């Protein structure tokens, strides 16, 4: 085809800056001329690199509160995604943790979905969300989620190739969608070289949004009990008030910090605490990229990035007691690799490695589809 295949990028929504948006930025750097199709876009809160790009939104963008309360509009998302006309595009690459995999493509086009997770509150965490819902939500959630679950399964069958961000997610794709997925880890922002000084401070570090499943409360409670200094960088989420109320005098909240401030916090941390279960988890890799050991709960994506005893330590129970024991073991025994060795390990999980691996996979898929 003249001029090469025409490419479109698809992302659930652009209203904040997180791991999914970092993956999308890598994809944009791989296909800089591709427009980005998304449910809603808020220039005030989206990453700065989005400004000035060709970003196309659904009609929900024009609804009152659509940009700020889009997650409450789950029942409207399937129809919204199906209104995008992508018939001009030969290759569609979606970055999906919600419904954007459901876009409609030409029969001869190739749709590669990079799946961060099947929708958590529709599938594996449904009963957790239902238990925490108020009376009104508990009344309407079951029939609503039932219909979305049916659509989500059917939407997954439209995808030509699934790529999962971890083996942990690939298992859920196989379970819920009955689809195989190639595993390609997302890239983290890993500095090419460590700073001249690698001296560590006296604090432990958490970098996260304040949402329940990340279990920041365990890090706060453990550092309260041990009297250890804890620095928490991040903002947003329903748990912020509870965490601030739980925090003792050794816990410090930094809020949303700049990239430069975050680099300094990583570089000076004694260790990085990661008490939640994540599908992958970019922040532990970023910490290791600064030569910082990671103390993580031994489930989920951390098992694919942290090497127990070498680049960090795992604790076996998702409790403050278990994390306290891990911190004390770290302070007593440390880890096997040096700061430089931990950094070298993280280089294999960098954004450059992701772009190389994902690009090679997509090129193979395009060749098999007759697009190149």
Q: Does 128 have pLDDT greater than 90?
A: no
Q: Does 309 have pLDDT greater than 60?
A: yes
- Cα–Cα distance between 362 and 359 in angstroms, integer? 5
What pLDDT is recorded for position 186?
Answer: 95
Token pair of 50, please?
Answer: 């989005």
Which DSSP category does 182 fall into? E
Token pair of 363, please?
Answer: 């090129």
What pLDDT is recorded for position 183?
Answer: 98
What pLDDT is recorded for position 237?
Answer: 76
Least confident of 39-48, 53-62, 194-203, 310-319: 194-203
Mean pLDDT of 288-309: 97
Q: What is the value of pTM for the model shown?
A: 0.89
When the pLDDT of each residue in the chain is averaged and rounded to a whole number, the result is 94
Comparing 197 with 142, which gets the higher pLDDT?
Answer: 142
List Cα–Cα distances, 206 to 38, 50, 85, 266, 327, in angstroms: 30, 27, 42, 9, 14
- Cα–Cα distance between 213 and 194 in angstroms, integer? 32
Q: What angle do CA 63, 69, 75 make, to 5 degrees?
A: 80
Instruction: Give which of 275, 110, 103, 263 is closest to 197, Cα–Cα.
Output: 263
Q: Does 42 have pLDDT greater than 70?
A: yes
Within the chain, how many helices (H) and strands (E) appear? Answer: 12, 13
Token pair of 276, please?
Answer: 């939640």
Comparing 222 with 199, which gets the higher pLDDT?
Answer: 222
What pLDDT is recorded for position 197?
Answer: 67
């Amino acid at each position: 085809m003249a001029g090469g295949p025409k490419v479109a990028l698809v992302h659930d929504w652009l209203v904040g800056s997180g791991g999914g948006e970092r993956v999308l930025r890598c994809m944009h750097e791989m296909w800089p001329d591709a427009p980005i199709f998304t449910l809603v876009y808020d220039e005030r809160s989206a990453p700065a690199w989005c400004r000035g790009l060709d970003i196309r939104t659904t009609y929900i963008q024009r609804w009152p509160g659509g940009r700020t309360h889009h997650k409450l509009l789950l029942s409207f998302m399937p129809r919204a995604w199906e209104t995008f006309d992508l018939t001009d595009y030969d290759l569609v690459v979606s970055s999906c943790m919600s419904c954007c995999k459901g876009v409609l493509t030409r029969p001869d086009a190739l749709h590669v979905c990079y799946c961060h997770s099947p929708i958590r509150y529709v599938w594996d965490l449904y009963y957790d969300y239902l238990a925490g819902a108020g009376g009104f939500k508990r009344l309407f959630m079951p029939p609503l989620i039932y219909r979305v679950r049916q659509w989500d399964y059917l939407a997954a069958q439209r995808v030509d190739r699934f790529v999962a961000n971890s083996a942990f997610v690939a298992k859920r794709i196989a379970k819920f969608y009955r689809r195989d997925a190639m595993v390609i880890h997302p890239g983290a922002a890993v500095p090419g070289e460590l700073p001249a000084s690698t001296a560590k401070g006296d604090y432990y570090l958490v970098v996260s949004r304040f949402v329940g499943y990340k279990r920041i409360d365990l890090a706060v409670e453990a550092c309260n009990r041990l009297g250890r200094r804890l620095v928490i960088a991040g903002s947003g989420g329903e748990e912020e008030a509870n965490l601030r109320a739980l925090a003792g005098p050794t816990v410090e909240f930094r809020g949303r910090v700049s990239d430069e401030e975050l680099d300094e916090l990583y570089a000076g941390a004694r260790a990085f605490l990661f008490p939640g279960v994540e599908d992958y988890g970019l922040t532990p890799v970023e910490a290791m990229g600064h030569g910082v050991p990671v103390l993580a709960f031994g489930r989920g994506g951390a098992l694919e990035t942290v090497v127990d005893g070498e680049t960090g330590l795992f604790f076996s129970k998702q409790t403050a007691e278990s994390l306290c024991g891990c911190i004390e073991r770290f302070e007593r025994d440390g880890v096997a690799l040096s700061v430089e060795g931990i950094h070298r390990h993280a280089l294999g999980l960098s954004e450059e490695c992701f772009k190389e691996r994902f690009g090679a996979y997509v090129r193979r898929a395009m060749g098999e589809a007759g697009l190149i």
